[in-house]
Amino acid sequence: MCDQPLATYFARTGSRPKFDASCTALWRGYVGSWEILSDRLYLVGLEATMEDGTPANLATLFPAYPERVFAHWYYGEIRVPQGKLLKYVHQGYNSIYEEDLFILVEKGVVVRTHVRQNGASDSPDAPEGYAVGGWTFLPREKDGTDGQVTK
């Protein structure tokens, strides 16, 4: 999905843990997994490494809620690109896919959804699922990566 509800949580609480940015495609330093269940938005997973090198998960941020966190702080429209890639843009969430599913969420509760058609791909090999075309790993000791550019 093309949004970061956890960033809103950090803004509302006024504190953001110091995550370690491992590559230029993930400056925020974490990947959250989200689920909509019974029209409610939940954070159900977190993969991150802290600045001191220790791994972090949902329990690191929400010790009493290691499995599921209700995102009641979130208000916004989440865009979920679907289908095949129409146009790749190497910036933020700007790539265009065949359709976008918009989910309007108020205080963590889904209030409306709609789909926007962006066109149909002519290429049978066009990739599906949001992805970044290239990135640079930042220096890190453990994995031995050193400024490599991966595509």
Partner 1 sequence: MTWQEFFLAYYAIGLVTWIVLVAHTRFAASPDSSGDLGEIIEKRRRRFYPKWKLRLYYVLEKILGPAIGGMIASLVWPFLVCWKLKLICFPETKTKKKPFAVERGHLVERHGIEELEARERVVDPMGAVPDVPFGHLNVAWERLKQDLVEGDEVWSFSAPCETWRGTKGVESGYVILHNGEPGAFWVTDFRELEDDPAQVPAGAR
Please report whether residue 10 would count as binding partner 1 according to CB under 8 A: no
Task: Answer for the pair 127, 87: CB distance below 8 angstroms, yes or no.
Answer: no
Burial of 51 (0-12, 13-18, 19+ CB in 10 A): exposed
Of the candidates 19, 70, 130, 135, which one interacts with partner 1 according to CB under 8 A? 70
Judged by beta carbon, residue 73 or residue 88, the one nearer partner 1 is: 73
Selected range binding partner 1 among 78-86, 94-102, 114-122, 134-142, rule: CB under 8 A: 134-142
Task: Answer for the pair 58, 45: CB distance below 8 angstroms, yes or no.
Answer: yes
Burial of 146 (0-12, 13-18, 19+ CB in 10 A): exposed
Please report whether residue 130 would count as binding partner 1 according to CB under 8 A: no
CB of 20 to partner 1, least distance (A): 9
Judged by beta carbon, residue 129 or residue 134, the one nearer partner 1 is: 134
Task: Answer for the pair 29, 49: CB distance below 8 angstroms, yes or no.
Answer: yes
Please report whether residue 64 would count as binding partner 1 according to CB under 8 A: yes
Task: Tell me, by CB under 8 A, how many residues bind partner 1.
Answer: 28
Q: Which 72-101 residues touch partner 1, going by CB under 8 A? A: 72-73, 75-77
Using CA of residue 68, residue 70, residue 74, residue 75, what is the dihedral sign?
positive
